[in-house]
Amino acid sequence: SGFSDDNSKWLAPAKAKKTQPKGNHVELSSDGEVEEGSWEMEEDEDGSSEEEIVDDYGAASSEEEELLPIEKAALKQKPESEDDSEEEDEEEEEEEEEAEAGSKQKMGQKEEEGPDLQLNLDIDEKFKLPTSEEIEKEDILFILFPPAEPPDLQVIHQRIQGNMEVLQDFGVKREEGRSRQEYLALLRRDMAAYYSYSDFLLTKLMDIFPLPELVNFLEANEVPRPVTIRTNTLKTRRRDLAQALINRGVNLDPLGKWSKTGLVIYDSTVPIGATPEYLAGHYMLQGASSLLPVMALAPQENERILDMCCAPGGKTSYIAQLMKNTGMILANDSSAERLRSVVGNLHRLGVTNAVVSNCDGRQFPKVLGGFDRVLLDAPCSGTGVISKDPAVKTNKDEMDILRCAHLQKELILSAIDSVNAASETGGYIVYCTCSIMVEENEWVVDYALKKRNVRLVPTGLDFGKEGFTRFKDRRFHPSLKSTRRFYPHTHNMDGFFIAKFKKFSNAIPQARKGNTGSKAEEEQKLPQPALKKKHSCEGSKAEEEQKLPQPALKKKHLLQAQRRPIKA
């Protein structure tokens, strides 16, 4: 072989290439050395062997002799793990081949049954209404055995979309024998589960909005409204404030063409409520919808104005800056705790024409009256600000809505009575709520139109949806078209309602106020001639009885009681 037996032991590995064919492994002796026959020589076509240099010094043969006992044990275990991994690889390859063969077979079947399969898909795509038994079973199982995981929202969402498609083209897509009410009941149930609303509130919202708009409204309530600020023009200009905030790393834009003072904040590297500009009173953190009532009120300089429910003071300070700190503003609120924030904001913003009072708004005409304008931002259920307070979704019921509506009716009458109709520049009342319920808005406004000498006038806002003149079985005054509604999904601001009244007489209508009880209801049902005859008969009887002396009157009543026929 070209070398002697003496040096064959350490030269042989340098000429050999270590190969490990599939299924074979290197055999080690008890002392860790490689046994003879475990190396294979790879020869070229001409019979000469390839030489591989293990390292630059040719000293690779003595590496195994220098190994520690623990390293030798590791070498013994390594070939066994390699054998196991090779067997696993072979099994995986066999499984992949079987899977490919099965998929090819299925593809062949699909190609043969193409038309039938497509027909089945079309049938499955149609929305099928679950039976009442299935729905009851789901409810019972959910109550008795609550699932460990919440329901699959993706499945519910797909069912909502399928149901909506059927309801939009109900005559064509509905199942035979199924009514529209069944589809609506399932839709309400699914929406309540998907968006986490109470059944009561969702029913109310379904009465207000058409179905496609309802989904947009519910989706908009899941997203917070943009952060907006109002420039305090008593201390700075909007352009200067915007430049100062941009220099501090605030990304902002003007709020819109309708506002000269508003700015919308997209993002900021500094807290908006703690900048030096904020602390100096250059701006107020205020929602876009809260600017609208003051713009509708349109206060003039040197007027006397009442803000009946003023906390936390955003609208009051906006009124002051429009009046340029002239005239007088009475900022009232029934909560002493909330008035602390009002006082702090008025001081910070530099308002000097405001007087703060803590009174019940319902007692206000007795406390002070004769105002030129009154702003009533009435307490409400908060159904327009669900994105700020998600608890409204579940914690409101019928009694809460009616309780709010009753309080609002009392407050609006007090607000109207506090205004002087003979004011040269004013005589206006603005009523607003952050609710979208008809019971708290159009219903209250219609009540005020009947009870006081006021009429509705345009709000002066060139956007927003018109108020309802009819809702379900109720009919309101036609002038309610001049009221305005604002929604999160259409105007990207909190839900809001605004109505503007003009008072034309300080007198309180007595005819509407006097008739109460069942007698008034009976008289309303009678036709006009019969009503006149009834009043004349009652008047003549009363005059006759007054002329008779007291003993004769008693005797007459006794005789009338005796003559009265006995009822069967």
**Taking Cα atoms as reference points, which of 289, 294, 310 lies closest to residue 486?**
289
Q: Distance (Å, rounded) from C-alpha 50 to C-alpha 53?
A: 10
The answer to whether 359 is annotated as binding is no
The answer to whether 313 is annotated as binding is yes
Question: Tell me, what amino acid is at 551?
Answer: P
Handedness of CA 190, 191, 197, 198 (dihedral sign): negative
Q: Distance (Å, rounded) from C-alpha 136 to C-alpha 157?
A: 20
* Torsion angles phi and psi, residue 17, rounded to 5: -115, 130
The answer to whether 310 is annotated as binding is yes
Alpha helices in 126-229 (DSSP H): 132-144, 153-168, 170-173, 180-195, 199-208, 211-220
């909007």: which residue's tokens? 238
The answer to whether 525 is annotated as binding is no
The strand pairing partners of 254, in sequence order, are 263
- Give the burial string for 171-197 (b: 16+ CB within 10 Å, else e): eeebeeeeeeebbeebbbbbbbbbbeb
The answer to whether 537 is annotated as binding is no
Angle at 515 between CA 510 and CA 516, to 5 degrees: 130
Q: Distance (Å, rounded) from C-alpha 12 to C-alpha 355?
A: 107
Residue from 380, 404, 432, 434 carrying the catalytic annotation:
434
- Residue 432 annotated to the active site: no
The answer to whether 114 is annotated as binding is no
247 within 8 A of 362, measured Cβ to Cβ? no
Cα-only R_g, the chain: 43
Helix, strand and coil content of the chain, in percent to the nearest 5, comes to: 50, 15, 35
Q: Distance (Å, rounded) from C-alpha 419 to C-alpha 374?
A: 7
């109900």: which residue's tokens? 170
Q: Distance (Å, rounded) from C-alpha 8 to C-alpha 16?
A: 12
What is residue 339's three-state secondary structure? helix
| DSSP secondary structure letters along 268-308 | ESS-GGGSHHHHTTSEEE--GGGHHHHHHH---TT-EEEES
Cα 29 to chain centroid distance, Å, stands at 76
The strand pairing partners of 263, in sequence order, are 229, 254
The answer to whether 169 is annotated as binding is no
Q: Sort strands 227-231 and 250-254 into parallel, antiparallel or unpaired.
A: unpaired
Angle at 123 between CA 119 and CA 124, to 5 degrees: 115
Q: Sort strands 484-486 and 465-466 into parallel, antiparallel or unpaired.
A: antiparallel
If 0-12 CB within 10 Å is exposed, 13-18 middle and 19+ buried, where does residue 427 land? buried
Q: Distance (Å, rounded) from C-alpha 57 to C-alpha 63?
A: 13
Q: Sort strands 283-285 and 227-231 into parallel, antiparallel or unpaired.
A: antiparallel
The answer to whether 393 is annotated as binding is no
What is residue 374's three-state secondary structure? strand
Mutual angle of helices 398-417 and 442-451, in 10-degree steps: 40
The answer to whether 432 is annotated as binding is no
**Residues tagged active-site:** 434
Q: Which residues are annotated as a binding site?
A: 309-315, 333, 360, 377
Q: Which residues are annotated as a binding site for S-adenosyl-L-methionine?
A: 309-315, 333, 360, 377
